Amino acid sequence: GSLASDLLAFSVLAPADTLIIVGDSVLTIPVAAPVPANPTVRVETLTPPGPVEAQNVIFDITQPIAGTTPVVQLANGDQSDTVGTTAEGLATVALSLVTGQVPPDTAIVEVRANRLRGAVVPGSGQRFIILFE
């Protein structure tokens, strides 16, 4: 009864309940005039229903396996990238061919997310297939 303190403000974040691929999971990039593919996912919560902001989503290139010189890369120049979701719950990464390398027929990008305590968000493990034509 005799202790007092200033008010403390804190935010309660909505739990990430599902990871949803936005649009098509098969994307095509022309080899003659390559443009980046932009795989996009949305993270949503069920209570209350809606998007989850500031959730980290991990995009991994699982195929082709990077050798000493990768042939495809994400926007950060690596084979893996962690992207935070927007206020709309969206996370997007750009995948592009590495200049001067022979393009593969396909590339596969796997997407996943974890909850704050480490549990895997349902929908993790989904894949984008990028076709090079």
| Residue with tokens 């990028």, as numbered in its chain | 130
pLDDT of residue 105: 94
Question: Smallest Cα–Cα separation from 66: which of 75, 57, 78, 55?
Answer: 78
Residues of the chain with pLDDT under 70: 1, 13
For residue 31, how many other CB atoms are within 10 A of its CB?
12
pLDDT of residue 11: 74
pLDDT of residue 1: 67
DSSP state of 14: P
In this prediction the pTM is 0.87
Pairing of strands 80-84, 56-63: antiparallel
Backbone phi, psi, residue 66, to 5°:
-70, 130
Task: Tell me how far apart the alpha carbons of residues 93 and 82 are, in angstroms, rounded to a whole number.
Answer: 9
